[in-house]
Amino acid sequence: MNSSPSYWEETDSHKIVKTTDRFELREGWQTVYARKPECLLVKITLKNGLIGWGEANVPIGPEIVKLIISNIITPLVKKEKFINPNQMWQFLYDIQRGRGYHSGYYLDALAALDIAVWDALSKFHEIPLGKLLKKKPLAKIPVYLSGLRQKNLKEKISHLKLWANKDLKGVKLFLPANNTEIENELSKIQSEVQEINNWMVDLLWMSDLKSTIELKNSLENFKVKFLECPLQPENIEDHKMLVSKPGVPIALGEHFRTHYQISPWLKKQALNVLQPDIGRTGISNALIQLKLCKKYNVQVTPHMGMGSPIFQAATLHFSSICENNYLQEYQAGLANNLHELVKTSWSYKKGYIHMPKKF
């Protein structure tokens, strides 16, 4: 399915250099994005009739995940009995791990199914998912706005001021991989919106090691909480070097799917903050990743990408059990998307997402 909220129609300052009917590339970005939000929803029905909903965070080609679920996964798990969702996830992972399906669309499919099962279980126990995962989850979660997508700096500042009046706690800026431009834009925005105390910077994997080492150090002067995705996602050695240098913490993780992938990064101290994307890890494997991060004293705050309120709700419930010093990413423009189809019980108020008291 896909939809087109007004949020997506805002045009940011990055020029579109290539476009198709569904996709676009922007100047300075290496990653392709969908022109309109697309999502893959999964509905499961347990033997007792309870229904659960899940979603994969797969903005490009969700129909591929649908094919995997319909033609491969469903025949293998239908009418099967599993002790818990993690056992099901591990079973499905094992049957393809020898063929090298350690990431990508196949793991996205597992995540969507896993979220749907956890959703059904929360309904079975008649408690919110957060309380099913932890006895005392957070009742409210401090959040930061994910990006300013307005056309120019003046409009970005104006938009952020509106959020500051709503007691927003923080914002993440998507900035070009040029240190001077980054510092100039950050300085101008901060001087105009002094009410915001938490600042994050995302480089979208577009910087190099030397520049990032310099930027990492200088961003301390701007009280930036973390620098996200500065280098190419495969480059563990450069990330290890970067983390060892003085400056703000390094955050990443949306490209990981499993605890198998993050283990080497944790052992080599190649990141400070893990950002698991629940629409790619599922709840079950995210729990394992959270446990691993506690062992290595690495903070966890989930990534919040493009998706419907189903994906957002799963992310927020997981976030409610994370004990860290960082805010939760919030895709405000998509929070009320599909409101005619999806009823949400969580809400934004004065810088926090207030979690539901009922399932």
Which is more confident, 16 or 180? 180
* pLDDT higher than threshold 60 for residue 7: no
* pLDDT higher than threshold 70 for residue 319: yes
C-beta of residue 169 within 8 angstroms of C-beta of residue 143: yes
Mean pLDDT in the chain?
91
C-beta of residue 250 within 8 angstroms of C-beta of residue 243: yes
The CATH number of residue 319's host domain is 3.20.20.120
Asked whether residue 23 is assigned to any structural domain, the reply reads no
Report which of 286, 11, 326, 266 is spatially closest to residue 138, judged by C-alpha positions.
Answer: 326
The reported pLDDT for the residue numbered 172 is 97
Q: Tell me the pLDDT band of 5, cut-offs 50, 70 and 90.
A: very low
- Tell me the residue range of the domain where 202 lies: 132-354
- Judged on CB neighbours under 10 Å (0-12, 13-18, 19+), 117 is buried
Residue-wise pLDDT for 168-183, tens only, equals 999 999 987 799 999 9
Helices (H), the chain: 6-9, 62-68, 74-77, 85-97, 105-125, 129-133, 153-164, 179-192, 209-218, 236-244, 259-267, 278-295, 309-319
In the chain, pLDDT over 70 holds for what percent of residues? 93
Q: Tell me the pLDDT band of 39, cut-offs 50, 70 and 90.
A: confident
As a whole number, mean pLDDT of residues 18-44 equals: 86
Residue-wise pLDDT for 236-295, tens only, equals 999 999 999 999 999 999 999 999 999 999 999 999 999 999 999 999 999 999 999 999
Asked whether residue 212 is assigned to any structural domain, the reply reads yes
What is the domain count for the chain? 1
- Judged on CB neighbours under 10 Å (0-12, 13-18, 19+), 221 is exposed
Asked whether residue 105 is assigned to any structural domain, the reply reads no
Asked whether residue 121 is assigned to any structural domain, the reply reads no
Whole-Å CA distances, 348 to 308, 313, 334: 16, 12, 13
Asked whether residue 137 is assigned to any structural domain, the reply reads yes
Other C-beta atoms closer than 10 Å to the C-beta of 265 total 20
**Degrees, nearest 5: CA angle 341-346-350:** 130
Question: Residue 45: CB partners within 8 Å, gap ≥ 6?
Answer: 51, 52
The reported pLDDT for the residue numbered 308 is 87
Centroid of chain to Cα 96: 25
Question: Residue 81: CB partners within 8 Å, gap ≥ 6?
Answer: none
Q: Tell me the pLDDT band of 12, cut-offs 50, 70 and 90.
A: low
Report which of 184, 177, 178, 179 is spatially closest to residue 153, judged by C-alpha positions.
Answer: 184
Asked whether residue 95 is assigned to any structural domain, the reply reads no
Residue-wise pLDDT for 129-163, tens only, equals 999 999 999 999 999 999 998 889 999 999 999 99
- Phi then psi for 150, rounded to 5 degrees? -80, 170
Asked whether residue 8 is assigned to any structural domain, the reply reads no
Asked whether residue 208 is assigned to any structural domain, the reply reads yes
C-beta of residue 264 within 8 angstroms of C-beta of residue 236: yes
The reported pLDDT for the residue numbered 13 is 55
